[in-house]
Amino acid sequence: MEMPLFLKGFTIGIAIAAPVGPIGVLCIQRTLTRGAFHGLISGLGAATADALYGFIAAFGLTVISDMILTYQFWFRLIGGLFLCYLGIKAFLATPAPEAATEKKLGHLEAYGTTLLLTITNPMTILAFAAIFSGVGLFGDSLHYVPASLVVLGVFTGSGVWWCILSGCTDIFRKKFSLQKLGWVNKVSGIIIFTFGVFALVSVIQ
C-alpha cells in the first residue's frame, strides 16, 4: 500500500529539518536563554520556509526555482552575512531572567530571522527537488489538492521536529544558571558565526 501524500510530506519535512545546522543551533540557543516558546517560534519560521520550498517543488514552479538558482550567489551572500550578524548578536546577548518578559516583537523577530535564513539557502530547493523526484512526487504529476496535502505535510513534519527540539532543550534549561546561559550564548554565537563564515567562503569559491 502506497504511503498517503500527507505522510510523505510529513516525512520529508522532518528529514529536511532534522540535520542540526545553524537554524538548529539558533533554536537551541534561543530555547535555553529565552524559553521553549521562543525556540519553537524560531523553528516555525524555518518550517514556513520549508513549506514554501516544498510548494515550489510540489507544484512544479520551475520559473521560481530557476530564478532562485540563478541568483543563488546573492541569496548565499545575504544568508552568510545574516548568519554572521546573528552569531555576533547571540555572543553579546544577555540571558533574560524570565522568559515571560519576552515581547511580541521578540517573537516576530525570532520567526522572521529563521524564515529569512532558510529562504536565503538555495540548496534547500535542490534538496526538495531531489527528494520529491526520489519518492515520485513530480510537480507535473500532482493536482492542486494532492500537492497541497504534500506541502501541508512538509510544514507539519518540520513543525513537529522543531517542537520536539525546543521541548527537549527546555527540559535542560531549568538546570542552567544565568552564568551558564551566558556561556551558551557565547558558544552558540561562535558556532553560528562560523557557519556564516563558511557560507561566505563558499560564495567566493
Q: Which helix (H) or strand (E) holds 129?
A: helix 123-134
Whole-number Å distance between alpha carbons of 182 and 187: 9
Question: Residue 169, SS3?
Answer: helix
The half-sphere exposure of 92 on its side-chain side, counting CA atoms within 13 A, is 7
Query: Which residue is associated with the grid cell 500537492?
Result: 147
Domain residue extents for the chain: 5-204
Q: Which helix (H) or strand (E) holds 107?
A: helix 104-119
pLDDT in tens, the chain (205 residues): 346 778 888 988 888 888 778 888 889 888 888 888 989 999 999 999 988 888 887 776 666 777 777 878 888 888 888 889 888 988 887 765 544 444 555 788 889 999 998 888 877 777 777 776 665 555 545 566 777 888 899 899 999 999 999 998 888 877 776 677 778 788 888 888 998 888 888 877 6
Q: Which amino acid, one-letter code, is at 199?
A: A
